[in-house]
Amino acid sequence: MSWTRKMSWSTEEEPNAHRKRKKKLNQNLVYHSADEDEVVAGSFLEGCPTFLEFWDLFDKVFADFQEQTYQLFSLRTSASMKARNRKIASEQAKAKKNALSWKAGRNSDKHSRTGGTLLPEAWDTYCRTFLCTHGMPFVSKGTGRRSHSK
């Protein structure tokens, strides 16, 4: 009689996990504009599409993704179209001013940023930056005393 038990799992068979079933992303919401072989930014984004048509659609897909993967992301920054276009316009004005100056011949390629293409301000939001909160330490904001007891 042997007291040892052989424990081996192939890549196809995984041990029983405490989570029985993963929720599937609603594929009707997802718009695939890129190839399937596209490299994504990080492995934690696997299963989340990287290009979507509208921010409302992104919000729905991203909420489903967070629920499916048990990951929470907090919105850290957001850039509006007005701010982006204002910055690009100022860069273009600087580039035009520098092109007319006598220094344009020297080191012209060093600082020759012209910004980019102005986009319609009707789009409201240009970009959002999210931060994954998984594994971040909990910082208590309390003092350890309740306000109603003296």
pLDDT at 49 over 90: no
Alpha helices of the chain — where are they, by DSSP H? 55-69, 81-100
Which pLDDT value is given to residue 109? 53
| Residue 4 reports pLDDT greater than 50 | no
Q: Taking the model in full, what pTM does it have?
A: 0.51
DSSP code of residue 103? G
What's the one-letter identity of residue 55? W
114 near 92, Cβ under 8 Å?
yes
User: For residue 42, which amino acid is it?
Assistant: G
Q: How far apart are CA 126 and CA 81, in angstroms?
A: 5
What pLDDT, on the 0 to 100 scale, is given for residue 85? 92
Task: Provide the residue count of the chain.
Answer: 150
Tokens of 59: 């919000």
**Beta strands 73-80; 125-132: pairing state:** antiparallel
pLDDT tens readout for residues 87-137? 999 988 888 887 776 555 555 555 556 668 888 888 888 888 988 887 778
Side chain identity, residue 64: D
Whether residue 53 has pLDDT greater than 70: yes
Q: Is the predicted pLDDT of residue 59 greater than 70, yes or no?
A: yes
Taking a C-beta distance cutoff of 8 angstroms, is the pair 115, 87 a contact? yes
pLDDT of residue 142 exceeding 70, the answer is yes
Extract long-range pairs of 92-98: CB within 8 Å, 24+ residues apart: none
